[in-house]
């Protein structure tokens, strides 16, 4: 019996291809082809040997074609190939390798989330450097059907061993019901959020949530949900989807599928999706979760992306998906409060606090009355500005009105 995993070819980098032929005698025979063989050949052989011993497989011919893969990638490829030949009772863990867990919270800033194809290690390695608030290891549309099984192992290992530098760790599972089978691979790992694609009903959310609860172990650990609305039916059910579970923290939409579903072409100004975008914002706000916009697919035109993102923000969205690292700073900037907004917020908060101190109930700036929701929004703007280092934490000490 023979099984393979991974990728090879002249343009493949940071990945490896593994082929295993099971045997009944001869021990573990490793054939290694590697550009970095002189420097890391011994390491690769030792890792492969250790894995076969861990999985209690004594006889096999193993062919490894390495194009500079990191250890967790090699381990994922070997395990994926081996899992095609025999049931593996537990995952193989690399020794002495852990990465700091990401911080998460229900209302964490989610301006940008960077999609990373789940079967491509090269794009994962430095993904933490680009400044995205979240990274999405994708098991769905960016993974070819032949790579789906491999991607589960690679994504699991990336969550465990790749340092994403504090980005919120998200995984987009496959469309249900197949996506439910992705969960056992990833939920035990250090992830923060699951994206549910093509979500059409509260039932979809509940199905995912139930399995997560049964898999996650620590009852105090939160795994958030972000359903993706990608159909006319999903838009109709947006509110019940957003409020289907207390773990839903954000609602987003996928406009490529949505526009196809309603029989329209996707345009830059988005006239065809205006209703859906409004409906999603409204449903999200009604359910008390963050509305997050779709991705902008023209990754060559960063200027246009900036204006699209600003429009999304004007509609009430708090963030957007990114399909290329270069989109991240543009999106972050677009969803940051502007300097004018920060200034106005400072003025409101300072005036409000002053009024409170002197016991005045109602305040006005100029001729405009300042009431509670305005102050609340101003405080949120200030918090955001401080979080993104646009405003010093001690701004009060220097504020002169």
Partner 1 sequence: MKDKMRLNAAGRLVPVEVNGEPAVPYQGVENYRKTGCKYAPPIPSCADYPADGNKQVSSLEEALVKAGLNDGMTISTHHHLRDGDFLANQVFDIAHKLGIKGLRWFPSASFPCNAHLIPYLEDGTIDSIEGSMNGPLGEFTSRGRMKKTAVLRSHGGRVQAIQDGEVKIDIAVIAAPAADQFGNANGLSGPSATGVLGYAEMDVQYAGKVIIVTDNLVPFPCLPMQIAGNFADYVVVVDQLGDAGKIVSGTTQITRSPDRLIIADLTARFCEVTGIIYDGCVIQAGAGGISLAIAEYMKQIMIRNHWKIRVGFGGTTKYMVDMLEQGVMEYILDGQVFDTASVRSLNENRNHQSFSVFNAYNYHSKGNLTSLIDVVTLGATEIDVHFNGNVVTHSDGMLLHGIGGWQNCLFAKNTIIALPLFRNRIPAIVDEVTTLCGPGELIDVVVTERGIAINPRRKDLLEKVKDSGLPVRHIEELREEAVSICGTPDKPEFTDKIVAVVKWVDGTVLDVVRQVLC
Nearer to partner 1, 189 or 325 (CB): 325
Nearer to partner 1, 76 or 205 (CB): 76
Nearer to partner 1, 214 or 297 (CB): 297
Binders of partner 1 among residues 304 to 333 (CB under 8 A) are 324-326
Query: Binding string, 159-188, against partner 1, x = CB under 8 A?
Result: ----x-------------------------
Alpha-carbon distance values, 103 to 169, 202, 329, 377, 391 (Å): 9, 27, 20, 24, 22
Nearer to partner 1, 40 or 239 (CB): 40
Nearer to partner 1, 95 or 146 (CB): 95
Among the listed ranges 69-77, 80-88, 172-180, 376-384, the one in contact with partner 1 (CB under 8 A) is 69-77
Q: Compute the distance between CA of residue 20 and CA of residue 64 in angstroms, rounded to an integer.
A: 9
- Note the maximum CA span of the chain: 89
At its nearest, how many Å lie between partner 1 and the CB of residue 294? 21
Per CB under 8 A, 49 contacts partner 1: no
Nearest to 231 by CA among 209, 202, 263, 206: 263
Among the listed ranges 41-49, 186-194, 256-264, 265-273, the one in contact with partner 1 (CB under 8 A) is 41-49
Degrees, nearest 5: CA angle 61-156-102: 145
Radius of gyration of the chain (CA): 24
168-172 and 193-196 strand pairing: parallel
At its nearest, how many Å lie between partner 1 and the CB of residue 343? 22
Q: Compute the distance between CA of residue 329 and CA of residue 322 in angstroms, rounded to an integer.
A: 10
Q: Compute the distance between CA of residue 317 and CA of residue 146 in angstroms, rounded to an integer.
A: 35
Per CB under 8 A, 387 contacts partner 1: no
Per CB under 8 A, 92 contacts partner 1: no
Enclosing H/E stretch for 277 = helix 274-287
- Pick one of 26, 27, 35, 178: the residue that binds partner 1 (CB under 8 A): 35
Nearer to partner 1, 163 or 282 (CB): 163
Enclosing H/E stretch for 10 = none
Degrees, nearest 5: CA angle 8-10-16: 25
At its nearest, how many Å lie between partner 1 and the CB of residue 25? 31
Residues making contact with partner 1 (CB under 8 A): 13-14, 35-36, 38-43, 67-71, 125-126, 129-130, 163, 324-326, 389
């Amino acid at each position: 019996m023979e099984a393979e995993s991974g990728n090879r070819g002249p343009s493949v980098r940071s990945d490896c291809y593994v082929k295993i032929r099971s045997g009944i005698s001869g021990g573990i025979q490793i054939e290694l082809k590697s550009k970095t063989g002189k420097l890391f050949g011994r390491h690769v052989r030792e890792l492969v040997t250790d894995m076969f011993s861990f999985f209690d497989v004594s006889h096999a011919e193993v062919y490894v074609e390495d194009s500079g893969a990191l250890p967790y990638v090699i381990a994922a490829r070997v395990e994926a190939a081996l899992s095609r030949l025999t049931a593996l009772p537990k995952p193989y863990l690399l020794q002495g390798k852990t990465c700091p867990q990401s911080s998460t919270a229900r209302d964490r800033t989610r301006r940008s989330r960077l999609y990373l194809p789940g079967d491509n290690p090269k794009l994962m390695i430095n993904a933490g450097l680009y400044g995205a608030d979240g990274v999405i290891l994708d098991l769905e549309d960016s993974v070819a059907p032949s790579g789906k099984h491999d991607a589960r192992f690679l994504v699991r290992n990336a969550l465990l061993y790749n340092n994403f530098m504090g980005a919120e760790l998200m995984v987009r599972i496959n469309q249900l019901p197949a996506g439910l089978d992705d969960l056992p691979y990833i939920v035990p790992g250090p992830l923060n959020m699951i994206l549910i694609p093509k979500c059409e009903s509260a039932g979809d959310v509940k199905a995912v949530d139930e399995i997560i609860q049964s898999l996650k172990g620590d009852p105090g650990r939160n795994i958030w949900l972000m359903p993706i609305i990608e159909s006319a039916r999903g838009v109709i059910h947006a509110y019940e989807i957003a409020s289907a579970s207390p773990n839903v923290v954000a609602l987003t939409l996928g406009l490529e599928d949505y526009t196809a579903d309603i029989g329209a072409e996707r345009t830059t100004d988005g006239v065809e999706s205006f209703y859906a975008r409004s409906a999603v914002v409204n449903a999200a706000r009604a359910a008390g979760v963050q509305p997050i916009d779709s991705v902008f697919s023209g990754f060559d035109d960063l200027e246009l992306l900036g204006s699209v993102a600003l429009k999304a923000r004007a509609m009430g969205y708090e963030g957007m998906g990114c399909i290329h690292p270069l989109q991240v700073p543009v999106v972050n900037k677009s969803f940051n409060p502007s300097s004018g907004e920060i200034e106005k917020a400072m003025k409101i908060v300072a005036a409000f606090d002053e009024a409170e101190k002197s016991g005045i109930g109602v305040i006005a700036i100029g001729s405009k009355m300042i009431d509670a929701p305005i102050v609340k929004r101003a405080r949120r703007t200030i918090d955001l500005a401080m979080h993104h280092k646009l405003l010093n934490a001690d701004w009060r000490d220097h504020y002169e009105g």
